[in-house]
């Protein structure tokens, strides 16, 4: 499987909420499959200080060869990789939209997005099933009695594409934790969708969402559940659903997008590795 690698250039920056920037990029190359299914994962490559654009290895037929070439770049020149979900593609164009959560000047992605302007260039690797094999979401959801999607603001781009893919007649619930009321976004769906917004208002990330489950009233019947966001909160919610609510493990698609007080550059914890092994084993 060839790993798609290209440069992308900023053409527009919009603040869709006080803490979220939606940035439109023009891609030099883009597969026809990009933007055709929900929850497409990709990685953005950020330049090091002093670089106009990141230093990217040439595309390789073997994805591991590309990654080895990436690691061979001297560390001070090697671009920083961060994971994102494609928010959308403008039909008939090579324009893609990616949402950035602006949580301050503490990480390379947020710091870059705070200053992003037309003409700025990044590298884009993917979208590719190598990062997240696509779940046949609409079909799986339609077969369940009801669907629950839960996450924080980092999960909103993926969650929005998923509820947009739900067919008519599906009963769906979305529980979303955000910093405050100003961070709400409109979600379009053909399904019978009920959205519950949960506000941190200063609480620890993930805490409000995790606490909502024991006190929440879940419908009867067999669900399909999609969880994403802060890894500790996702882990706690999944444990509650399996152990207290009796939801089969195979009915839960879960991903820890980020870790409180840790970055993607930090080594995975034992719990991170256990989650990865369980996902690889099909839950």
pLDDT digits over 111-160, tens only? 999 999 999 999 999 887 666 656 667 778 778 999 999 999 999 999 99
- In the block, tokens 């969708």 appear at 193
- Domains in the chain, start-ordered, CATH in brackets? 5-125 (2.40.30.10), 137-280 (3.40.50.80)
> Which one, of 35, 39, 40, 162, lies nearest residue 93 by Cα?
35
Q: What is the pLDDT of residues 54-73, one digit of tens each?
A: 999 987 778 889 999 999 99
Residue 141 vs residues 161, 172, 204, 217, 223: alpha-carbon distances, Å = 14, 9, 31, 20, 8
Angle ∠(151,156,162) on CA atoms, nearest 5: 95
pLDDT tens figures, 75-89: 999 999 999 999 999
Q: pTM to 2 decimals? A: 0.86
């Amino acid at each position: 499987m060839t790993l798609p690698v290209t440069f992308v250039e900023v053409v527009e920056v919009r603040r869709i909420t006080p803490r979220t920037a939606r940035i439109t990029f023009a891609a030099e190359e883009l597969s026809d499959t990009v933007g055709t299914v929900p929850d497409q994962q990709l990685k953005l490559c950020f330049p090091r200080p002093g670089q106009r654009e990141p230093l990217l290895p040439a595309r390789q037929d073997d994805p591991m060869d590309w990654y080895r070439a990436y690691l061979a770049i001297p560390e001070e020149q090697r671009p920083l990789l961060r994971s994102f979900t494609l928010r959308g593609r403008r039909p008939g164009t090579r324009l893609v939209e990616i949402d950035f959560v602006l949580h301050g000047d503490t990480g390379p992605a947020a710091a870059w997005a705070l200053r992003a302007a037309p003409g700025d260039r990044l590298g884009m690797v993917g979208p590719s099933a190598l990062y997240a094999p696509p779940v046949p979401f609409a079909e799986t959801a339609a077969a369940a009695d009801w669907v629950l999607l839960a996450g924080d603001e980092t999960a909103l781009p993926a969650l929005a594409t998923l509820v947009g893919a739900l067919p008519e007649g599906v009963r769906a619930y979305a529980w979303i934790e955000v910093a405050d009321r100003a961070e709400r976004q409109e979600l379009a769906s053909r399904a019978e969708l009920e959205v519950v917004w949960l506000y941190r208002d200063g609480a620890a990330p993930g805490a409000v969402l995790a606490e909502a489950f024991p006190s929440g009233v879940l419908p009867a019947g067999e669900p399909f559940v999609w969880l994403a966001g802060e890894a500790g909160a996702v882990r706690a919610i999944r444990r509650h659903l399996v152990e207290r609510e009796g939801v089969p493990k195979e009915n839960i698609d879960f991903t820890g997008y980020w870790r409180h007080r840790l970055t993607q550059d930090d080594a995975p914890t034992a719990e991170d590795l256990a989650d990865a092994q369980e996902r690889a084993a099909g839950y």
